Amino acid sequence: MNILVTGGAGFIGSHTVVELINAGHTPIIVDNFCNSNPSSLDGIEKITGTKPKLYQGDCTDAHFVTSVFEAEKIDGIIHFAALKAVGESMSDPLLYYRNNIDSLITILEHAQKHGVKYFVFSSSATVYGEPDTLPIPETAPRKVATSAYGNTKQICEDILRDTALASHGTLRAIALRYFNPTGAHPSGLIGELPLGIPNNLVPFVTQTAIGIREKLTVFGDDYPTPDGTCIRDYIHVVDLAQAHIKTLEYLATNANSTIYDTYNVGTGKGVSVKELLDAFEKTNNVKVPYIIGPKREGDIVSCYADPSKMEKNFEWKTKFSLEDALRDAWKWQQGLR
């Protein structure tokens, strides 16, 4: 299939492009490089031997998007393109509402016009907020979002659901709710490349270990968890990328499947911040200087997935361990020097 991958030069997008090529599909990347680097395309080519097609532009620009759809025959879409910094979304919410929502609407309008059948959306476990039960199933209620970013994911899920249902099955869609993507491609050729100060824990850990950052701050150590630090579900980015391929192929081969659905993508294992730091130091034989700082407003205590629905319906299961992810992230960081 020809698959449009919006945000395909980003962290998760670039790894998914690699897996699409490995599975025999043809990815068509759209990216404006506001949150990514063109160097990822060189990495994709070195890993796969294939140079993916790229259209550089903004998904909120209807004229640009029209030009892409008129130039290409597109069978399915994986929509990653979005701004994702929680803190920034609170200081500039209109930027996030304009970008994240308008881009989805623009892509969906063109998908309908051009008869695209399959749509996979990049959602987030942030839609669950502070969960009532652990691990979190897809049936868990969505809570009022604690950030504008989180709210855009909830709104986008609703837009996608309503659009798919109104299509009466001509467009079928699945929203994948990611937990905490981490790691890098085992080759060390593509990985997470934050612009400025990292928003995610593992890039901050690797940058501190290599000396770019003086020290890491652990935000709070008196949470109601075994070691007092927050617990998250860290999934290797290659496992996450492969989940997108399984989702896309499920939509393509199950004509009678649900018109719209949501799936968790995680390991099902909760790991605390301190446990992750210990595992990183042990796996890579390197020290990470850190201090304990005050809690951050809005941080959730514990959040990890029940991935059984994904495992059962898509015959998908994570293959990489936390140690694999931390080793690959460190290999990627060292290669950036």
Q: Which residues are tagged catalytic?
A: 149
List helix spans (H) across the chain. 11-22, 39-48, 62-71, 86-91, 93-96, 102-113, 148-166, 201-210, 237-253, 273-284, 308-314, 322-335
Spell out the long-range contacts of 94-98 with Cβ–Cβ below 8 A and sequence spacing 24 or more.
Answer: 96/148, 96/149, 96/152, 97/148, 97/152, 98/60
Q: What whole-number distance in Å separates Cα of residue 179 and Cα of residue 232?
A: 8
Handedness of CA 123, 175, 315, 310 (dihedral sign): positive
- Which residues in 191-203 are b (16+ Cβ under 10 Å) and which e? bbbeeeebebbbb
Give Cα separations from 84 to 95, 168, 266 (angstroms).
11, 31, 18
The DSSP output letter for 100 is: I
Token pair for 307: 């991935």
Cα gap 266→320, rounded to integer Å = 11
Is residue 305 within 8 A of residue 135, CB to CB? The reply is: yes
- The set of residues, in sequence order, having a beta carbon less than 8 Å from that of 92 and lying 6+ positions away, is none
